[in-house]
Structure 1
Amino acid sequence: MTNELPAGRRLQNLIYRAGLYGRRPHVPVNSTALYDAAAKKMSPRARGYINGSAGTEATAAANRTAFDRWQLVPRMATPVTVRDTSVTLFGEPLDSPFVLAPIGVAEMVHQQADLATAEAAATTRTPMTVSTQASVPMEKIAAKLAGTPWYYQLYWGSSDEVAFSMVRRAEAAGASAIVVTLDTFMLGWRTQDLDNGFLPFAHGMGIGQYTSDPEFAKLVEARLQATSPKEKSSDEARPTLAAVRALMNMSRRYPGSLRQNLRSPYPRAAVETFLEIFSRTDLGWTELARLRDTTDLPIMIKGIQHADDARQAQRLGFDALWISNHGGRQLDGAIPSLDALVDVRQTVGAEMLLIFDSGVRTAADAIKALALGASAVAIGRPYLYGLALHGAAGVSSVLDYFAAELDISLGLMGVSDIADLDEQHIRPARS
């Protein structure tokens, strides 16, 4: 019999012992305090982009309210000396049910961006979902992950060549699965970004996967070849101060030296090409099925909210569904993801792998999702707040908090194995 404390109590004790010497956590544990501290470190544009949602932000609010409609039901006098929080995803055993949701443009909050997140993922062995809108090429992120499982999240734009190239790159770099995001085939009506007049991609941010992709490079080259000398001279006439700043930002982020990039048309052409190919409004189930011919990796479909869509994805043989409304960032007034999770699990049965995100702020939230049928839970904004505060160490702290709270909460519920969580541990709130 071991005398070692479970992970949750170990971290809890460490924090309280440090408090005896007047030391508080560098990264706040409370979710509201975490955001408040991170917000002070972010620029107004970064706050708007990261924390903003679509329209009146009703969907984001509904995501949170949905958790309040469910209550956990603890059981007493049940031995919980040891708690098993492990799960298996795509054949890979993991210490917890948490994964890092894909978040683009992390450079807005920290210079090391996705590399710092990858370092934290490796430290805590938490699977990372690498975004198409990452600031760093996936190959560099994969190297930093040092063998930790990771998934590649694909935005399938109007260029099949670029999309399939990125899938092949992810497979070659060691990804464990491909996550196809369906809910962002064009940007939602994001009012905070619109009021700021700010789209990070237009400034060359968050396009590191594209500028490192050979198929995308061909499109940029073709664009430059098709641009007439008259159009070039017209574009360069009487630039405004804002335009000069934008060009500087593009040039800093484009591969190569800043001096060379400032003299080159490629950085601006790359941004224009990205903006041209990002949206795709004609992507259907027939096209999605073509991915099977491109990769042998498991394929997850992200953005599922309707039971019929879940049924169609299951019929086509996709390996997992990711229940998400993009954290409320796409469609104002949409149903909360937790409600969608209940419907989808009833539709697809008990065996299909379901990842859940949207509105998760604590491990108690995650427990509710797991009891309602989620196989794993993705953490989004909270880890980015940790990144804003203390880089890789900040992300690790947030992940440690989630793991510790999960361990303690399971114990308090009388659950010794996370696999035992089900409908007996949760009930609708009574008014």
Structure 2
Amino acid sequence: MDLNVLIVGGGIHGAGLLHDLATRNLRGIHLVEQNQLASGTSSRTTKLVHGGLRYLEHPSQWGLVREALRERGILLRNLPGIVRPMPFVLPNFRGGRPPWLVQTGLTLYDLLDRVSGLPSARRLTHAELAQMAPYLRPERIAQETGSAFLFYDAQMQDDVIVRLAVRAATRLDATYQEETRVEDVIREGTGFCVKLASSRGRQEVTARVIVNAAGAWCNANLLRWGVTPRVPCLLDVGSHLLFRSQAVPARPEDCAATLLQHEDGRVVFFIPWEGRWLLGTTESALTGTPDHWECPAGDRDYLLKVAAVNLDLAEAERHIEEFFCGIRTFPLRASAPAQAGQPAPGIWRENPFASPFYKRRLEKDVSSLSREAVVDEVVPNLITIYGGKFTTYRALCEGVGDRIADRLKCARRSGTREQESWFLDELRETEPGLFHSYSDLRHG
């Protein structure tokens, strides 16, 4: 198989790039995923499409917020029902930020959004807060809440978006394989010979461009392919609890979501999702490797403590339906070692997660790290995507797609801004199972 582009990784960035390149009428575009589509972090998110309200505290991040709000609007328009508006209540407890400061932040959030058409933020009475968020402890509303606000963001079916992007791409002649590993990458001139392995056997393909979009495995892939990375990264675990609907004496679809600032300063979301209640997330160091790891034992207790302090849940532990975790990748400042792009030492190829390109600890809090993605090309035509937010995946993939299209002399622009590129009506009729979120992906 002779390819123009081989994409490695079937999460949101791999799927999004396959979709982007297919809308440009590029041929010879193929994706491989070692497990199932969306079986990694892309099915284990907090299910939000949002601008990141908390990032407004850092003016350097306003550009990221603006981009995320623009992309939120595009996804709301293109994927109705799969991405949908979500009201949020924001209780401001006494001793917290001055109400005028919260109102100013929410007004700025609205001003940065020019495309979604969502309602503007407003102040709430205590009675409105109790009605929209009946899961909040009544005594916290009555005795500790100085002010409260309503604003809007959006929520999603994350794994559904990944599968739809890939299936839409196949309507435009792109191809993909699941349960397929990349065993080796060999440079040949300006391109590559790639050895693939699956249950169906082994095969070799050639590719003019390779995109390494494997999330936590990105640097491991480079090292196993014999390439020394340039960008180190930190792997961080985010955990969630999913409660049955009975945990709250109100229908989830009748309630707003909320965000709570725990006593340690961390922001935690409580969200009605798919007829249940989702609480998360955490920030814990990864123990083990992405190939062999477990959810941090303390994360479940941490989230239950957040619930006990803030939420009026009926027998919270008894109503836990799922405890799931995902691995976030934070790109760190590129060290530009002299050996970057050169053959990787054998010891790193055999045990890449023990290499200096995976950091275990940071001196500063993980929450202070930027969520902006890094796109690096340490070897010509071998592009690696690090980090990033689900919300802004389309814009990131459009940028990478522009780079590849220019290199392959393709003049056609990305079509992923247009709803027609998703083939939603056709896919609903021919593949209705694509539109359901599957819990087994979160536990594979």
TM, length-normalised to structure 1? 0.27
Higher RCO structure, 1 or 2 (CA under 8 Å, sep 6+): 1
The structure with the greater share of residues assigned to strand is 2
